Amino acid sequence: MGSSEDLDERSHQVSIKYEGVYSCLESAFRKFYGLPSTASSKNKSPLETYQELKFVAPAIWYYAIFEKTKYDRFITKSDMVTSVKNWHLEHAKVYIINGEEMILTLFQFDEIVKHTLATLLHRLNHNIDLIVDLGGGWGHRLFDLFLLGVKSKEYVLLERSIAGRRCSNLVYSLFSNLFKFSCHHFDWNHLEDMPVFEGHQNVLLFSTHSIEQVPELENKTFDILIDKFPDTENLYGVHLEPVTFQIPVEKSNNPLRYERDMKYAMAHKYNLDFYNKLSRTKNIFIRHVSPGVFDSCYGNSTSVLIWEFRR
């Protein structure tokens, strides 16, 4: 891995990049959808609005990174939605899901990932006090989980980007009378700065492609994370992350995918040690691993990891 100075510089660059992306999302949510929603808002139903936000968000994300001038030209919501529809069709590609090839738009793929996550959390969802999304962007996966019936007394988004947290609060305004939600600062390598969540006995943590931009985790990352939930009787983690090549059996079981994913991670300066740091944490028991559940021909395949904390 690189020096601490190199890692700090990359972290700074990533922070600036995503602050800009989420600022574009925030602008679109406010300009074209009139968020935050209020009692006097004349929007379509909150659910319809939310579904449309999920549809347009990936394209706005893409425009913000690669075609900022195109994004800036949108005058009306109709212009934007038409462009987004075309974008989804133009960027449809082959995904491999549980070994089966499918041609999907990014929106369709995200819906499959969402339902997979919900199914995994349903199996662990017994009198849950708190569900926490670790690095969840604008919070859409938390809102999806609520809508899919993954129940909790409270839903918490932890996200590094200030604009991302602002976006999540805008979207929460559509549902603010239905469930308890809050968002807080979060940085994988500065977990000492995140809040302590006291009084919660049954906690579910999850992440989805949250650790990509963190090349190396601190040695005590998961020890610090666990200490942030001091009163838990049951603490579980569910991760859908591009760590397939990090799983010990992958190199021998699927050497082609191993090489492809490893090269992709190295080329993009993505994370290389998530599985190692997790598996070496005292009192964490990894109860399930499914390598390469979501794959493509390009690398960066996604695996499922489920763990529990045993005192």
CA atoms within 13 A on the CB side of 31: 15
Which of 162, 140, 280, 137 shows the shortest CA–CA distance to 220? 280
Spatial distance between the Cα atoms of 292 and 261, rounded to a whole number of angstroms = 10
Distances (CA, A) of 167 to 157, 162, 182, 278: 11, 9, 12, 30
Instruction: Report residue 132 as tokens.
Output: 């926490």
pLDDT at 297: 81
Count of beta carbons in the 10 Å neighbourhood of residue 176: 15
Q: Look up the CATH number of domain 109-309.
A: 3.40.50.150
Strand ranges, E, within the chain? 93-97, 100-104, 130-134, 154-158, 181-184, 202-208, 234-241, 284-296, 302-309
Positions in the chain whose pLDDT score sits under 70: 1-8, 12, 39-43, 69-70
pLDDT at 167: 97
Which of 292, 294, 245 shows the shortest CA–CA distance to 267? 245
Q: For residues 58, 28, 86 and 17, what is the CA-based torsion angle, rounded to 10 degrees?
A: -40
Domain boundaries, the chain: 4-90, 109-309
pLDDT at 40: 65
Which of the 8 DSSP states describes residue 37? P
pLDDT at 126: 80
Which of 38, 24, 225, 241 shows the shortest CA–CA distance to 138? 24
Query: Could you tell me how many helices (H) and strands (E) the chain has, helices first?
Result: 11, 9
**CB under 8 A, 24+ apart: contacts of 9-14:** 10/213, 10/215, 10/269, 11/189, 11/214, 14/213
Residue identified by tokens 């040695």 is 219
Which of 139, 150, 173, 152 shows the shortest CA–CA distance to 35? 173
